[in-house]
Structure formats: structure tokens, C-alpha cells
Amino acid sequence: MAELGQSRVSAEMPVGRQWRQRVRRATSTCVAACAALVALATLAAQAQSVAHGPLEPDFRAAPELRAQITARHYSTLSGELAAQIIQIRTNIGLHFKKGDVLVEFDCAVQRAQDAHARATLVQAEKTYAIDTRLVQLKSMGVLELEVAEAEVAKAKANVAASEAAVSKCTIPAPFDGVTVDQKAQQFQYATPGQPLLDIIDDSNLDVELLVPSHWLVWLKIGYTFDLHVEETDKIYQVKVMRLGGRVDPVSQSIKLYGEILSGAKELMAGMSGRANIIPNNSASESPSSPASHTP
């Protein structure tokens, strides 16, 4: 009788009300299922983080530290002669090896002076040889022989000076690198000290950035941190090589120089990014904390 009464009540219930109850039950079931899936995904992510560690460093936990990639060796080449440029054997973006001639000057005058100095030396040496023989035969005094010897020394000095002048007719590369700027053109007349080329060594790159000076308590040479370079959108590990020689009293900061540990040929001088250095407050409070730390 109870079942018959319940079925009769259900039959008498409006159709719209039955539909709304079914929708509520289905919605509750879906919400419970989604919550269970989210919980399972969270547990799986936590388990993977414990087993393998985080895939990427959390840059949100570190202060905003802008870093720039710079060349360890760079130079502005200039000539030491007042002469016309015959040839520039490099251009912007071209690589070269140490010792390669980059700039060549017109040195006709210097080479002629070198030839004259060498001829004068030959003459002085022959005169000295004859005077030596005459002294042995007692046909000449020792004073004349000493004068001839001094003429030989003078001629040798002139040859050395002319050779030095000729050596300035070309500018060799001081290191392996690449040309980044050309300040003079071929056939241009150059003066002594005039900038001609800007070159850098792109095989040895450093990282430069400013850090708070109070970090010196725990930030030491050998500390490693991560650097996110914006141009490549990659993360590189950097090791602190040295710290600046003084603290800026206005900004209370000091310059840090780091070395990129992994070989990264895609990096270029001038690229920039963000350094992930998390302040080690415990190291500043405890004197027994380690000097270096790897995040």
C-alpha cells in the first residue's frame, strides 16, 4: 500500500518539478566528479615535484634584478700613423682570428725610411770592419775605431726605429672575435689615435647586474643562480666570478659579474634578462651558513 501511495504521489507530481530535481541531482554529481579530478591532479603534481623537483625556477619569489650580457674582452682599435687607409679586411658581423690583419695603411714613406736605415747600417758595419783591420796594422788610432763602432750602434738604432714604424702600418687582431662597429672607411686619411674599429670577443661572455649591498653577508664568489634571457626565452645557470670594488652609497648596491656555465652559442653581447636570486635571510642571520648556494 505504501509503494502504491508513493507511486501515486509521483504520478501526481508536476512534470516540471520532476525535471528540476533530476537536473539538481545531475549537477551535484558533476560538481563532485570535477572536485575529485582536481584533487587527483593536485596530488599528482605534488608527487612529481617531490620526485623530480620543479622544472623551472619560480621567478615570482625573487626581486626584480635586471642583468645584461657583456663581452669579457672588447676594444676600440685605432692607428698610430698619419696615413691613408689602403684596406679594411673586416666588416660588421664578420669573425676573425687572433693575429689577422684588420686594417692596412699606406706606408710607402715608412718603408723607404726603413730601407735607408738598413743601407746606412751596412755602410757603418763595413767601415768598422776596415778600421778594425787598420788598427791591427797600427795604421789608425783607437779613437777612430771607437767612433766607427758608435756609428754602427747609431745605425742599428735607426733600423730598430724604422722597423717599429713599419710595424704600425697594419693593425692585427688582439684576440679572436667579431667586428661590431666600423668607424672609418677604405681610402680615408686617418690620424693617430682616431677610432677605426670596435671589436669584441663573443666567445667569452659575462653577466653584469646590480645587487643590494647588504647581500654581501651571504652572496659570495661561487654562488650560482638562474638567468632568464628575454631574447632567447631560455634559462641559463650563472656562477658569480667577482664582485665590484666599491658600493654605490646612493643606491646602496654593488655590481656583480657572473659567468654562464653551460655553453650557449646563441647568446650575444647586449642581450638582457632577469636574474633569479632569492635573498638568503637565514644566511645573514647565521654566521655558520654556507657561503655559496644553488637555488
pLDDT, residue 254, reads 94
**Dihedrals φ, ψ of 252, to 5°?**
55, 50
Instruction: Give 27's pLDDT tier (boundaries 50, 70, 90).
Output: low
264 or 79: which leads in pLDDT: 79
pLDDT at 15 over 90: no
Q: What is the pLDDT of residues 239-273, one digit of tens each?
A: 999 999 899 999 999 999 999 987 788 999 999 99
Q: What is the CATH number of domain 77-200?
A: 2.40.50.100
Give me the helix-helix angle, 142-167 and 108-136, nearest 10°: 160
C-alpha cell at 152: 754602427
Least confident residue range of 15-19, 112-116, 180-184: 15-19
Between the CA of residue 4 and those of 12, 15, 17, 96, what are the distances in Å? 12, 19, 20, 99
pLDDT at 58 over 60: no
pLDDT at 39 over 50: yes
Domain boundaries along the sequence of the chain: 2-52, 59-72+204-285, 77-200
pLDDT, residue 139, reads 84
Distance CA 295, CA 289 (A): 15
Look over the chain and give the mean of its residue pLDDT values, rounded to a whole number.
82
Q: What is the pLDDT of residues 193-221, one digit of tens each?
A: 999 999 999 888 999 999 999 999 999 99
280 or 247: which leads in pLDDT: 247
Q: Is CATH 2.40.30.170 the classification given to domain 59-72+204-285?
A: yes
Between the CA of residue 129 and those of 88, 125, 136, 138, 144, what are the distances in Å? 46, 6, 11, 14, 12
C-alpha cell at 214: 647588504
164 or 8: which leads in pLDDT: 164
213 or 279: which leads in pLDDT: 213
**Dihedrals φ, ψ of 208, to 5°?**
-120, 135
